[in-house]
Amino acid sequence: MKHSYAKRFLLAALLIPALQYAQVITGTVVDETQQPLPGAAVYVVEQQTGTNSDMDGKFIIPVKPGELTVEVSFIGYAKLSRKVTVAVGQTLNLGSLSLKPEISKLDEIVVVGYGVQRKREVTGSMVKLDSKKINDMPTPTFEAALQGKAAGVQIVTGSGVAGSGAVVRIRGVASISASADPLYVVDGIPITQDNFLQGNSGGFNNNPLATINPNDIESIEILKDAAATSIYGSRGANGVILITTKRGKGKELKFNFSTRLGTASPTQRPQMLNSQEWLQMYKEAWANDGKVGTPTLPAGLTWEQAEATNTDWVDQTIATGFKQRYDLSAQMAKDKYNFYVGGSYDLNESYLIGNSYERLSGRINGDYRFSKQFEVGLSTSLVRGTNNRIDNAWSGGLGAAMSTALPIFPVIDTATGDYWNGAGSGNNPVGVRDNKIWRNRELRSISNMKLTYKPFKNFALNASGSLDHMTLREDQYNSEWIIGQPNQANAFRNQQKIINYNLFLTASYIQTIKEVHNLTYLIGAESQNSNTYNEFHTDDNGNALGNGLTDSSVTAPYFDSDLEDRFPINTSIIDPQSTYRFVSWFGRVNYSYKDKYLAQATLRADGSSRFGRNKRYGFFPSLSVGWIVSEESFFTSKKINYLKVKSSLGYTGNAQIPGFQYQGGYNVGGASYGGSAIRFPVRLENPNIQWENSRVFDMSVEAAFLNDRITTEIAYYNKYSSQVFLGISTPRNFGFGTYWDNVGEILNRGVELTVKSRNLVGDLTWTTEFNIANNYNELVSIGGYSEDAVSGGTNDTRTVVGKPVGTNFLVRFSHVDRENGRPVYLDKDGNQTYEWNPDDRVAVGNVLPDAVGGINNTFTYKGFDFSFLFAFVIGGDIYDSSSKRQLGPMSIDNGLWNLTPQIYDRWQQPGDDARYPRLTTETANLGSTTPWINTNLWLHDGSYLRLRNLSFGYTLPAEKVKKWKMDYMRVYVVGTNLLTFTRFPGLDPEIARDFENNADRNMSVNITYLTPPQERTYSIGVDITF
């Protein structure tokens, strides 16, 4: 029966189609942005006939009259189904049929290291985020927009400072002193990503990712397990983030214009005492200590003067910031070539007065096909990022407003009419802001050229060369008001140039054996070379102006004075410790049997200049297997339409350390003693220093239910990192300072769950995306060194064996003594004591969360769309390092701070049950002569739930915008960080402060020290295609 039907159908379809059908259905298949989709399959269910859309997305299909169902499908898009009634002889035009990107992306193409794969064939663990997910909200830089959207990827957005970088951790932290950031690869080149090129200045780390225009990004692939990352070998241990920029699409030349305008304000406004309140507290402290008379005030102020002043320094340092962004691009794809050209301007003011990040960027991407064999592709961008800097945190600005800029200090000195400078310029953040010009400017170009040669079928040779060229220039001008000397203004410039290039060659071959065995081979070789130059202006004598120029001739920064011409840059010193080279070979074999059984083997061999001959080369293999159970004939579940099990085991590495640690170093800089030259070791050689090595096991199950209505993935991983670098603050008896050695061992293991559910389909759609990832982190060994062997400068966390990396190692606070108001601590054994002794420190918390995740809901109805994303963090502690001073002793010798209103919960008289101890002017009354002591009184639960993003948009009907000669138009409003639920009593529970070095960055997220809170933004925007 079936057979004969088919026969008849074949006859009908092949022999007499045109005669039989006097009726046709026509239409145009377009994507969600109204771009035509060529090659989409159009199928009439009842008569089992179909066609493909042409280059313009148009189709015409002859049909019989009657009630019919037309289905339109295209890889990567949801199938569209339309019931139609066709009258005899009718030409039914369905107009434009817009396909929506499919939630189940099993057949989508994903970018992997040195190639692409079909998602269903991937045996590694990875997440793909498309352009929309990266651009759906304003964030300081693109990586912050990933928060809550990918399981196992923890994003801690930097503070509210414009252009600040986020801390990105993929499956926990596996490094201590070396960078634990993932490897960022843009269009094939591992880019320059060092956050410490300019150290920590002004409470800010330069963020090299800020120069990447988010709107240039087509997709981001986050590679998590060894199967995915070991092709990046020695640099894959912390995960890899592959960034692919946009390429031309669509047969017609199309323009896209989008803009977004918005505001920034802090998620929480810092509350500080006013002048009256502060003076009252100070008087109480004075009286508590049995002192008589009028308390001594700083800066020689009298009590009356102090009472007469009431400056709200927070008001003086924050205001609503404005944001604006404009993107214009053009794109087109023909048979022979395609191109994408884009220009963008983004001015992102933070709520900190005087602070903004401005990015001007241009991009040209294109491919040209000379013949069927030979293709060339070019991607190039040029970006100018300008960070208008202000002091923050410990350095001043809002940080000063929250600390040493007391409300009793005036802004203006009424005697002179100039800014008041009575307590040092640092305590007048308004004066500093107006007397300092501070600008960081980055010029960056990331470019790639790729040649593809396909001499015969299934074989391709690729040659790719990339250049990441970055000039980073910090300019600062301090007026004589800041210097405090007449005719002595200062201008200095700190400039680095990083030239980073790589070249790789790959050969790939696809082999099919007996139609069931599919093999893909890839082998390749790569080299990379990155040089960092420190550039100096030199004076008339040829000496480098390292500390800038301080004299009466300085009237402005270099960039707008004649200093640039007077003192040209003519000293460019290569920084040997930042210079590195890699030479690598790699290979990958993918095997699939009947699209059911999958296997992949990869191997990378890396050679690095950072290691000595003994340990120069490292080998990083991985093996992974997958089984698509749902393809088996025995698998008959109706509810589960897709089931895949996969597992991988492999090795990855980390080589992010300064150069020449293997070689040691001798200072021969001409130092002398008693007039004779000396030379001396500054660093001991360690010829055996080598890669950090992570053994990563991963197992996961992907499943789709109810015809892809629900898709899930659950993964377990276990990553054991050994030979972990410690930049040890060596025991002094070693006789030299920091020393790098491979002595740590760290375990990360966890479970990740991702669920996507299309709750409602049809006119009203409702989609929920949920992910949660738990991570257990344990420092297994630090080779016998003490908790204090690795200290990240300002961090207050330590390395404690058996505890997570970044453990709060503190003396325990017990309670406030009811009788005398003194703080009572616990010693090591738990006995109560008034004495604070650092020997009593114990592990009381850790900064790493137990779980992170997000839940996003999207609703669409006709042209309307509405979505909101909650991001959450469960567990982990926040150490509020500033509160030990904002709620601590009021000692004029050690510097007086303003207090927060939490001080009202303090001990005042015998019998008081108070949270905070008595006010005092003597630090000894709090149990130590050390003025500021760390205890777990300042440690808080870091869990939070945050309405990260809420947006509401409307896509105008296609017919309507057509009249305006447009294809597509969407208007929207979006708000970020609108609500936060937390028990943290401080400002904002999402904290990535300024860091001193990588160890600090690894160990001290969630430590706040006057860190400006995150920003809350409200924006409106429009996207237009024409």
Partner 1 sequence: MKKIKFLLIPALLLSAMACQDYLELEQTGDTISEENALQTQQDYEELLWSCYDVIANTYDGRMQILFDLLSDDLAAPNSNADYTEVYNRNMLFFNSTLGGVYGQPYFAIFRANSLIEALDNIPFTDPARKVSMEAEAKFIRALGHFDLVRGWGQPYGFTSNNSHPGIIYKTSTATDILARNTVGDVYDLVISDLEFAEVNLPSANGDAATLWAAKALLAKVYFQKGDYALAAQYASDVIDNGPYSFDLNSLDRFTAMPSTEAIFYTLSIDLDRRSGPFTGNYRSDGTSVPTLRASTSMYQTYGTDTTDLRSNWFIVKDAGQPNEYFGISKFNKDYFSVPVLHITDLKLMRAEAFGELGTNLSVAIQDINDIRERAYSGSSMNLPSGSSGAEIIDAARWERRIEMLGEGDRVQQLKRLGAVENLPITIRSAPWDCPGMILQFPVTERTDAFVLNQTGGCN
Residues 374-413 that bind partner 1 (CB under 8 A): none
Residue 590 in the binding site for partner 1 (CB under 8 A): no
The sign one gets for the Cα dihedral 782, 785, 790, 795 is positive
116-124, 309-317, 725-733, 771-779 -> range binding partner 1 (CB under 8 A): 725-733
Residue 729 in the binding site for partner 1 (CB under 8 A): yes
Q: Which of 11, 16, 287, 573 binds partner 1 (CB under 8 A)?
A: 573
DSSP bridge pairs for 144: none
957, with CB counted inside 10 A (0-12, 13-18, 19+), is exposed
| Alpha-carbon Rg for the chain in angstroms | 32
Rounded to the nearest whole angstrom, what is the least distance from the CB of residue 612 to partner 1 in the complex? Answer: 9
Residue 678 in the binding site for partner 1 (CB under 8 A): yes
Residue 608 in the binding site for partner 1 (CB under 8 A): yes
115-123, 503-511, 594-602, 701-709 -> range binding partner 1 (CB under 8 A): 503-511
59-78 positions binding partner 1, by CB under 8 A: none
Rounded to the nearest whole angstrom, what is the least distance from the CB of residue 799 to partner 1 in the complex? Answer: 12
Nearer of residues 197 and 703 to partner 1, judged by Cβ: 197
For residues 504 and 527, what is the distance between their CA atoms, to the nearest angstrom?
6
Residue 372 in the binding site for partner 1 (CB under 8 A): no
Nearer of residues 736 and 766 to partner 1, judged by Cβ: 736
Q: Which of 196, 326, 521, 776 binds partner 1 (CB under 8 A)?
A: 521
Q: Which of 579, 602, 624, 920 binds partner 1 (CB under 8 A)?
A: 579
Q: Which of 255, 326, 501, 509 binds partner 1 (CB under 8 A)?
A: 509
126-134, 149-157, 646-654, 664-672 -> range binding partner 1 (CB under 8 A): 664-672
415-444 positions binding partner 1, by CB under 8 A: none
Q: Which of 682, 764, 892, 1020 binds partner 1 (CB under 8 A)?
A: 682
**Phi, psi for 807 (deg, rounded to 5):** -95, 135
For residues 767 and 783, what is the distance between their CA atoms, to the nearest angstrom?
49
Cβ atoms 489, 555 nearer than 8 A: yes
Nearer of residues 664 and 875 to partner 1, judged by Cβ: 664
Rounded to the nearest whole angstrom, what is the least distance from the CB of residue 922 to partner 1 in the complex? Answer: 13
Residue 667 in the binding site for partner 1 (CB under 8 A): yes
Rounded to the nearest whole angstrom, what is the least distance from the CB of residue 1003 to partner 1 in the complex? Answer: 16
Cβ atoms 782, 744 nearer than 8 A: yes
For residues 92 and 77, what is the distance between their CA atoms, to the nearest angstrom?
24
Residue with tokens 């502060």: 278
Residue 818 in the binding site for partner 1 (CB under 8 A): no
Q: Which of 684, 755, 914, 956 binds partner 1 (CB under 8 A)?
A: 684
72-80, 269-277, 681-689, 903-911 -> range binding partner 1 (CB under 8 A): 681-689
171-190 positions binding partner 1, by CB under 8 A: none
Q: Which of 2, 3, 514, 613 binds partner 1 (CB under 8 A)?
A: 613
DSSP bridge pairs for 574: 533
Residue 677 in the binding site for partner 1 (CB under 8 A): yes
Number of residues that this document lists for the chain: 1026
Half-sphere exposure for 264 (CA within 13 Å, toward CB): 28
561-569, 673-681, 695-703, 879-887 -> range binding partner 1 (CB under 8 A): 673-681
Rounded to the nearest whole angstrom, what is the least distance from the CB of residue 934 to partner 1 in the complex? Answer: 10
For residues 229 and 622, what is the distance between their CA atoms, to the nearest angstrom?
9
Amino acid identity for residue 553 in this structure: S
Q: Which of 784, 829, 911, 965 binds partner 1 (CB under 8 A)?
A: 784
Rounded to the nearest whole angstrom, what is the least distance from the CB of residue 378 to partner 1 in the complex? Answer: 20
Residue 785 in the binding site for partner 1 (CB under 8 A): yes
For residues 847 and 1004, what is the distance between their CA atoms, to the nearest angstrom?
7
The sign one gets for the Cα dihedral 93, 95, 101, 107 is positive
SS3 966: coil
Q: Which of 525, 589, 755, 947 binds partner 1 (CB under 8 A)?
A: 525
Number of residues forming the site for partner 1 (CB under 8 A): 77
Structure tokens at 332: 């087109």
Rounded to the nearest whole angstrom, what is the least distance from the CB of residue 380 to partner 1 in the complex? Answer: 24
The sign one gets for the Cα dihedral 120, 123, 127, 131 is negative
Nearer of residues 308 and 677 to partner 1, judged by Cβ: 677
Rounded to the nearest whole angstrom, what is the least distance from the CB of residue 613 to partner 1 in the complex? Answer: 7
Instruction: Give 455-463 contacts, CB < 8 A, sequence gap 24+.
Output: 455/373, 458/509, 458/510, 458/511, 459/507, 459/508, 459/509, 459/510, 460/507, 460/508, 460/509, 461/505, 461/506, 461/507, 462/114, 462/504, 462/505, 462/506, 462/507, 462/508, 462/524, 463/503, 463/504, 463/505
Q: Which of 300, 542, 735, 762 binds partner 1 (CB under 8 A)?
A: 735
Binding mask 445-484 for partner 1 (x = CB under 8 A): ----------xx--x-x-----------------------
Binding mask 736-755 for partner 1 (x = CB under 8 A): x--x-x--------------
Rounded to the nearest whole angstrom, what is the least distance from the CB of residue 681 to partner 1 in the complex? Answer: 6
For residues 196 and 971, what is the distance between their CA atoms, to the nearest angstrom?
39
Residue 104 in the binding site for partner 1 (CB under 8 A): no
10-18, 162-170, 504-512, 949-957 -> range binding partner 1 (CB under 8 A): 504-512
The sign one gets for the Cα dihedral 996, 1002, 1004, 1010 is positive
Residue 780 in the binding site for partner 1 (CB under 8 A): no
Residue 524 in the binding site for partner 1 (CB under 8 A): yes
Residue 789 in the binding site for partner 1 (CB under 8 A): yes
DSSP bridge pairs for 606: 584, 618
Angle, CA of 295, 301 and 303, to the nearest 5°: 50
Cβ atoms 889, 926 nearer than 8 A: yes
What is the SS3 assignment for 344-411?
EEEEEECCECCCEEEEEEEEEEEEEECCCCEEEEEEEEEEEEEEECCCCHHHCCHHHHCCCCCCCCCC
**Nearest to 435, CA basis, from 397, 474, 393, 407:** 397
388-396, 472-480, 577-585, 592-600 -> range binding partner 1 (CB under 8 A): 577-585
Residue 310 in the binding site for partner 1 (CB under 8 A): no
Torsion angle in degrees (nearest 10) through CA of 417, 421, 423, 424: 170
Residue 292 in the binding site for partner 1 (CB under 8 A): no
Residue 298 in the binding site for partner 1 (CB under 8 A): no
Residue 290 in the binding site for partner 1 (CB under 8 A): no
Structure tokens at 562: 């004649």
Binding mask 913-932 for partner 1 (x = CB under 8 A): ---------------xxxx-
869-908 positions binding partner 1, by CB under 8 A: 893
**Nearest to 652, CA basis, from 602, 709, 705:** 602
For residues 601 and 412, what is the distance between their CA atoms, to the nearest angstrom?
70
Binding mask 925-964 for partner 1 (x = CB under 8 A): ---xxxx---------------------------------
Residue with tokens 């850790």: 846
Rounded to the nearest whole angstrom, what is the least distance from the CB of residue 23 to partner 1 in the complex? Answer: 51
Rounded to the nearest whole angstrom, what is the least distance from the CB of residue 311 to partner 1 in the complex? Answer: 29
Rounded to the nearest whole angstrom, what is the least distance from the CB of residue 460 to partner 1 in the complex? Answer: 10
831-860 positions binding partner 1, by CB under 8 A: 835, 837-839
**H or E element that contains 619:** strand 617-628
